[in-house]
């Protein structure tokens, strides 16, 4: 008879259940108290925030804003008669409601309308830039920081000066979009309360462009917000990927293409008359048969390139050759067809 002893060692040697500490729980949930400005999310918090809009790469739009930075640098220097440096911080996507809640107050919000796109946009000028631009335009002494007086509304003089600066920025934005598509940006109103600057639904996605303006020891930030609904009519243009900063235009190739087009050889036919004849009659044709044309000596002759009717003329003779005298210029449809065919 064998001895049967209970297996107590397996239960005794089983490891005790491990309990997570607070740091491990925070890492699992994706919460980090030291990172409140929204870095890269992890854990469950990343899943919760997965509905946030992601920035769609629009290559041509990035070129437009690079061009805007160069234009603003020149125009703001002329506007302020000071050394102005404009830099592009970043381009991102954000929900419109989240952006309104994140605007640091006090600030001035300029609502503008894109006429050809039939929608609105938003420019936010922070308080540092407001006081700096007022100080520069009114002859403030260099080397001293602009005085900020918190807790009071902006005066009429401050609003007018900021409005003039916003109009300069909108004019530069129009020039930046000009090589891509003509867009007129017209200032609609100035607001100091973000609730009154609602130009889209809170859940709508928008592109946020942050620009930094430095005037020696003074400066601030301008934020340009364009809802995706505003850019939708020209979205296909913004998705194009042209190399360089000429919006796809190359003067050398344009000249070469124009030269080749002007020297292209093409066949032109003068058609006196056309008739529809049955196949049976065509098969019964014999040598000596005659087909009567409906054309007279005064009937117009069609000048064709392939199947495209270019113009009409009159049949005649010049020296020993049969000639056609053109009666009217080429039609616009014929010009487009010739360019497409060549």
Q: What is the CATH number of the domain that holds 68?
A: 3.40.1550.10
Average pLDDT over residues 282-295: 84
Position 225 scores a pLDDT of 93
Question: Could you list the residue range(s) of the whole structural domain that residue 47 is in?
Answer: 27-51
Give the bridge partners for 303, in sequence order.
Answer: 270, 311
Q: Is the pLDDT of residue 29 over 70?
A: no
State the pLDDT at residue 113: 92
Q: Which two tokens stand for residue 78?
A: 């002329």
Q: Is residue 22 part of a domain?
A: no
pLDDT tens-digit profile of 171-198?
999 999 988 888 999 999 999 888 888 8
Burial (CB count <10 Å: 0-12, 13-18, 19+), residue 210 = middle
Contact assessment for residue 163 and residue 190, using Cβ atoms and an 8 Å cutoff: yes
The confidence band for 166, taking pLDDT boundaries of 50, 70 and 90, is very high
Query: Could you tell me which residue, 307 or 132, shows the higher pLDDT?
Result: 132
User: Does residue 35 sit in the same domain as residue 144?
Assistant: no
Last residue within a domain, chosen from 223, 238, 253? 238
Q: Is residue 326 part of a domain?
A: yes
Is residue 9, in this structure, part of any structural domain at all? no
Residue 4 lies in a domain: no
Q: How far is CA 208 from the centre of its chain?
A: 13
- State the pLDDT at residue 138: 86
Q: Per-residue pLDDT for 38 more than 50? A: no
Where is mean pLDDT largest: 35-49, 57-71, 240-254?
57-71
Q: What's the total number of domains in the chain? A: 3
Supply 9's token pair: 């060692």
Instruction: Spell out the SS3 assignment of 143-189.
Output: CCCCCCCCCCCCCHHHHHHHHHHHHHHHHHHHHHHCCCCCCCEEEEE
Name the nearest CA neighbour of 161 among 196, 188, 190, 181. 190
Q: Are residues 65 and 146 in the same domain?
A: yes
User: Tokens in use for 8?
Assistant: 């107590």
Which residues does residue 314 pair with via DSSP β-bridges, in sequence order? 325
CATH number at residue 278: 2.30.330.10
The answer to whether position 157 is within a domain reads yes
Is the pTM of the predicted complex or chain greater than 0.85? no
pLDDT number for residue 259: 86
Q: Which of 30-39, 67-76, 129-138 has the lowest mean pLDDT?
A: 30-39
Q: Which residue has the tokens 């409601």?
A: 97
Does residue 202 or residue 338 have the better pLDDT?
A: 202
Burial of residue 237, with CB atoms counted within 10 A of its CB: 0-12 exposed, 13-18 middle, 19 or more buried = middle
């Amino acid at each position: 008879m064998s001895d049967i002893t209970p297996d107590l060692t397996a239960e005794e040697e089983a490891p005790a259940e491990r309990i997570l500490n607070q740091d491990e729980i925070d890492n699992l949930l994706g919460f980090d108290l030291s990172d409140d400005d929204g870095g890269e999310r992890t854990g469950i918090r990343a899943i919760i925030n997965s509905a946030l809009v992601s920035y769609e790469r629009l290559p041509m739009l990035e070129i437009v804003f690079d061009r805007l930075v160069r234009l603003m640098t020149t125009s703001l220097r002329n506007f302020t008669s000071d050394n102005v440096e404009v830099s592009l911080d970043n381009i991102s996507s954000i929900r419109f409601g989240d952006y309104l809640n994140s605007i640091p107050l006090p600030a001035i919000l300029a609502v503008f309308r894109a006429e050809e796109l039939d929608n609105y946009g938003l420019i936010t000028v922070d308080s540092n830039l407001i006081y700096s631009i007022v100080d520069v335009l009114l002859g403030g002494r260099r080397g001293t920081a602009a005085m900020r007086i918190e807790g009071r509304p902006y005066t009429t003089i401050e609003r007018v000066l900021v409005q003039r600066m916003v109009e300069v920025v909108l004019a530069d934005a129009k020039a930046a979009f000009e090589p891509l598509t003509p867009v007129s940006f017209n200032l609609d109103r100035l607001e100091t309360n973000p609730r009154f600057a609602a130009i889209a639904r809170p859940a709508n996605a928008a592109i946020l462009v942050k620009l930094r303006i430095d005037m020696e020891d003074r400066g601030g930030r301008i934020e340009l917000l364009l809802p995706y609904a505003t850019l939708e009519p020209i979205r296909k243009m913004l998705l194009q990927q042209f190399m360089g900063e000429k919006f796809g235009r190359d003067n050398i190739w344009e000249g070469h293409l124009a030269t080749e087009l002007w020297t292209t050889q093409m066949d032109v036919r003068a058609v006196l008359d056309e008739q529809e004849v049955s196949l049976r009659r065509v098969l019964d044709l014999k040598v000596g048969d005659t087909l009567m044309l409906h054309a007279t000596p005064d009937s117009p002759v069609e000048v064709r390139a392939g199947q495209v009717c270019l113009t009409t003329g009159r049949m005649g003779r010049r020296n020993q050759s049969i000639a056609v005298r053109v009666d009217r210029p080429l039609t616009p449809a014929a010009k487009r067809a010739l360019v497409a065919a060549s």
